[in-house]
Amino acid sequence: MRKTMLSMAVLAFMVGTISGSFGQDLDNKSLKAKENIQEAPKNVVVAKQDLKGVQKTDAISEFQKFRKESEIKIKSFDNRIGDLKVTFYQNKIKNKESYQDNLNILEQKNDNLNVKLTEYNVKEQNKWASFKLEFNHDLDEIGKSLKDFAINNK
């Protein structure tokens, strides 16, 4: 019986020692976790600032690409309008006045789009999506009008 009591006491002592040492490690880990939690908001602020910088450069490069593509389309529309004017002066066309008026309207719309593109401020990122959508719609409308114009007046 003494042996069992002694072995129980030794076992209880070992269990207490082992569980006590694990509790201390958890405290050290929890202190490290608290430090990481305190540092996390600082890291988030830095990451947000970095992200804003990246977004600005991405927006600027995207706008420059959009501007180049749009300028190419506008120039091609100018060329098509010029070709239609040459056709107008070289051929006998019915309804010359309406033909000339329609060509002038298309040319004015094309010039307005060119001005709109050059005057757009890249820094207004919240308006970029709506500007791009509206501008592409207007470009498509002029392109369609030019196709229809050429077909209807042959």
CA distance 129 to 133: 6
| Domain span holding position 73 | 2-152
Binned at pLDDT 50, 70 and 90, residue 46 comes out as: low
pLDDT of residue 30: 64
User: How many domains, the chain?
Assistant: 1
pLDDT in tens, 98-153: 778 888 888 898 899 888 888 887 666 677 788 888 988 999 998 898 888 767 65
Predicted TM-score of the model (pTM): 0.59
The owner of tokens 């051929």 is 91
3-state secondary structure of 153: coil
The alpha carbon of residue 57 and the mean position of all alpha carbons in its chain are separated, in whole angstroms, by: 11
